[in-house]
Structure 1
């Protein structure tokens, strides 16, 4: 019967003029059949091919809802319809000219008849899977696009203007029929609303209504569906698209079932709503969250497929929700809020084909990370996560927990490798992080220890610590990260110790409003901006560390009572130590060979004290003091060692402050008793060679003897005289040499 119907239909088309016909047959093609679109254009018989109208024959089957066979709004997508549709669609387009005479029309048929016969033969040979229980699709009057909804029902949509409902009475006033649900309220079905503004807006209603089998697309920066203060709203078997948020629900009770949701910012956003349900939906292509709940209670998220989004499901400040049977591909379940907002019924969910591990209130146990795609530990005590290799968004989250351990895990390409939130005395040990946005993020936690971890090539900060006092980073290596390696914000009493921090795109270690921080026994090198930077970090200590080959060495801004001691601050491209602070101490450091000043004190900053330091070979000068009342000695006999000290006391420190070192020392690199500066600037000798002229006498001894230390075995320097004792000594030495020579000659000749 089907084949006969097709043949009769095509014969009908060929029996008269060429009307615009849209013929649909409600039968399904085998799912295994792949039939590309076939288009036959007879432009040769058209004087104006661009004015041709299109006649389309279609064998329809459940197909992707984006593809409208008559009017395709996404031609680049629908051009490969046979690739994206399950059971494929076959389309034949025939072009004929408007206003062409009958002779030319029949001339067109001469070209078209063979093609139509070929299509008919193809249809006769094509295997058809026809089931008795298939209901033919009904084409309503004024049919628009023919699309297929997520519920696998072929739907004929009717184009419709945007809909705004602001009260119960608006449903009846706009002519919407009943059978929405309870007590037969209202039903909106089979429509296509494609608009720049919102497609459907419903506000302030308490009657049940159903939006069903519809296509709703907002191509402007607006929301496709908006519910505000709505009770009993339902969306079923719809396709909802938006360049902003696909569906926004505020202060409402509603359900969304068997629908395709695509919002470029949010898929479905629920705020301050209760007892809502989202079931068996496909949510994808969202830049922020596919499914976001804020301030929502007792909602159900069941059996959804979520992909191509940053955050699959976000529950913020929401309680008592059920999250079951969902599949998240390369995205995460994210929880936030107070401790009660982390307690939900979360089970039977999968993240990237592995179970989502949700652990609430677990104590004294171990979890093996290899078994899970994402792990959430909330309200746990002494729970240990061991091993596991993760990729995705934030694979490991520890919240409101104490003494928990994350050990020997790997994370690559994640948003945050490990996230610790509002927890106490937790540890991250022996783990490797790379290619993430953040390696480890610690927030509002106390006493966190990060030990023996390697963190490299992160897209942002390797370790970010915010409002988390007492955090310690110990024995870690952090390198080649795009931004700062370790950053503390509003986190007092934090430490970085025995760690290597090198080659990072910003600073090695940064303290921001984090008092009493400590950097000790660390090696910080080749960081682009600063080796160590402290901003408003009062009372901090930098000690026993090597800070070399960075942009700047150490930067102190807005800090009071910071202390830099026993460090090697050398070969940095700019200043070794920059001080924009008051009352800081810089003591017992080697500050050498920096590209600019060894130490720079900015204007208006004072009462800093610097002593016991070695300043040598720094750019334009060893120091520059433009501040006020800074001290360059300890006041009781100990100053600094200066490579440019010429013996004049006090040593004048360059700068607007006109500061002095009252107890300066010079450098005698070769130990010949002459200061380096004096050797290079006065005597022309090598400050690194004690015997410049290689005559066996040190340069200092030659100067003391009145000889020229640059000329071997020279006579006294002009203008100097030899004392009688020196002259007698020289004559005695000559006499001894003569006697010794004669004695050796006598022994050789046998003389007595």
Structure 2
């Protein structure tokens, strides 16, 4: 057995081959030293969807402590701290029970991107802690197994985008005295506190496209946060409420979903700063109430929401002067509305939704029809109504003849071309939540009353005619002989 260079390889060429292999290796490994995974959230308001890193090929790093502006340059972080070229901390894997990225008392601009933060044991410290870091940006990071995943204190106008906080012993995202924040497409899963906890953030908080699932506290908890916008966020399977606004006012909640939370879907308590508005939200499958207004809530406006079914009741109003419709013609969609009159809201406030609608789809009933066999131009036109249409099915005498996605528009089915008989056409329209409505139309095809031409008649007529001609000719011949 021999060793050395492969057979056929010139020994003199070995240095060249080694150099080529070395260059190839450096080329392959000179790319970004981290891998990414999709964060599962869709882009909101035209923003590019960020990705959250995995622990993959990130560069290992010890905990980072920055206590002044000069520390960024002294530690060698790229950038110069301006808006055009912020300092950047990027692509790191930091595993420690300490605060893994700790930045305080700075005035320069900085960004933290695509970092994986974890702890080998239960940590009593936050994963990423920012104190006095105005205009900071954190994107594409994962923080797990710490106290709070992301903790911002006294930091104004910060942006958190596409991050993931999971399995932390308190809140996933905790912002304290940090006004005007923007949180977009972040995920908080399985944290022991709330998914998102904004405390005394004063005003103009923007939360869009975030997801809070399976947290042991609330999905979203906003305390003393007025004039805020919550859009397209989802709270599912949290151990308390989906969304809580406490000492609130002037907030707008639209297109949010609270589903399967252990207490309430939306809980609003104590008016401040102005009226809040809930519109186009969905609250289903929560164990107590879909929407609960506490005893100090006043002046809130709730309409065009899909509410129900929920456990105890779909809603409860213990406040005063709250409105459950738009004061003109639009109320909410209720799973238990019987289709008649107003919808009374349980609770001491005595509120009513004056313009309620049913969640379930509805459909008209075209009149049964008859037509004569052989005629054409006959069809059934249904005009269903549905808040969130999904699909429809059409049956003829219990056999499925059409099935398609449905966008809420009219549905027309041709019934031409059948022989005499009776046919039952049944339609079922379904919404995205599985609610459905059906209708049946009877089509009777009558036998034709128009007598068709029988070829045998022509043969008989021709035969008779031929006999007559023969007889006439015979008589003529006889007369000639006479």
Q: With structure 1 as the length reference, what TM-score do the two structures score?
A: 0.40
Q: 1:503 aligns with which of 190, 195, 215?
A: 190
**Residue 566 of structure 1 pairs with residue 255 of structure 2:** yes
**Residue 466 of structure 1 pairs with residue 156 of structure 2:** no
Q: 1:616 aligns with which of 302, 308, 322?
A: 308
Q: 2:92 aligns with which of 409, 414, 428?
A: 409
Going from structure 1 to structure 2, the CA distance change for 1:553 and 1:372 (only over 3 Å counts) comes to: closer
- Map 1:491-570; keep pairs closer than 5 Å: 491-514=178-201, 515-551=203-239, 552-570=241-259
**Residue 593 of structure 1 pairs with residue 281 of structure 2:** no
Corresponding residue for residue 383 of structure 1: 73
Q: 1:736 aligns with which of 447, 461, 466?
A: 447
Going from structure 1 to structure 2, the CA distance change for 1:659 and 1:673 (only over 3 Å counts) comes to: farther
Q: Which secondary structure state, in structure 2, belongs to the residue aligned with residue 629 of structure 1?
A: coil
Contact 2:364/2:439 (CA < 8 Å) preserved in 1? no
Corresponding residue for residue 430 of structure 1: 114
Contact 2:126/2:149 (CA < 8 Å) preserved in 1? yes
- Map 1:147-226; keep pairs closer than 5 Å: none
**Residue 659 of structure 1 pairs with residue 351 of structure 2:** yes
1:608 & 1:550 partners in 2: Cα distance? 24
Give the drift of 1:556: 0.9
Corresponding residue for residue 374 of structure 2: none
Corresponding residue for residue 294 of structure 1: none
Going from structure 1 to structure 2, the CA distance change for 1:519 and 1:697 (only over 3 Å counts) comes to: same
Contact 2:110/2:136 (CA < 8 Å) preserved in 1? yes
Going from structure 1 to structure 2, the CA distance change for 1:735 and 1:472 (only over 3 Å counts) comes to: closer
1:693 & 1:581 partners in 2: Cα distance? 58
Contact 2:66/2:104 (CA < 8 Å) preserved in 1? no
Corresponding residue for residue 485 of structure 1: 172
Contact 1:564/1:587 (CA < 8 Å) preserved in 2? yes
Structure 2 runs not aligned, ≥5 long: 1-58, 367-391, 399-422, 429-436, 462-482
Corresponding residue for residue 322 of structure 1: none
Structure 1 runs not aligned, ≥5 long: 1-368, 388-397, 675-687, 701-708, 714-728
Q: 2:162 aligns with which of 456, 468, 475?
A: 475
Q: Could you give the per-residue CA deviations for residues 618-659 of structure 1, whole angstroms, max 9, x where no partner exists?
A: 112211111101001111111111121112222211221111
Count of residue pairs the alignment pairs up: 329
Going from structure 1 to structure 2, the CA distance change for 1:406 and 1:665 (only over 3 Å counts) comes to: same
1:603 & 1:692 partners in 2: Cα distance? 55
Q: Which secondary structure state, in structure 1, belongs to the residue aligned with residue 226 of structure 2?
A: coil
Going from structure 1 to structure 2, the CA distance change for 1:427 and 1:662 (only over 3 Å counts) comes to: same
Q: Which secondary structure state, in structure 2, belongs to the residue aligned with residue 414 of structure 1?
A: coil
RMSD between superposed Cα atoms in Å: 3.8
Corresponding residue for residue 127 of structure 2: 439
Going from structure 1 to structure 2, the CA distance change for 1:492 and 1:421 (only over 3 Å counts) comes to: same
Give the drift of 1:599: 0.1
Q: Could you give the per-residue CA deviations for residues 501-539 of structure 1, whole angstroms, max 9, x where no partner exists?
A: 211111110011113212111122111211100111112
Work out which structure has the larger RCO, using CA pairs closer than 8 Å and 6 or more positions apart in sequence. 2
1:751 & 1:699 partners in 2: Cα distance? 52
1:484 & 1:614 partners in 2: Cα distance? 28
Give the drift of 1:698: 4.3
1:523 & 1:627 partners in 2: Cα distance? 29
**Residue 629 of structure 1 pairs with residue 321 of structure 2:** yes
1:472 & 1:609 partners in 2: Cα distance? 29
Corresponding residue for residue 80 of structure 1: none
Q: Which secondary structure state, in structure 2, belongs to the residue aligned with residue 406 of structure 1?
A: strand
Q: Which has the larger radius of gyration?
A: 1
Give the drift of 1:710: 10
- Map 1:42-81; keep pairs closer than 5 Å: none
Q: Could you give the per-residue CA deviations for residues 82-108 of structure 1, whole angstroms, max 9, x where no partner exists?
A: xxxxxxxxxxxxxxxxxxxxxxxxxxx
2:110 & 2:439 partners in 1: Cα distance? 70
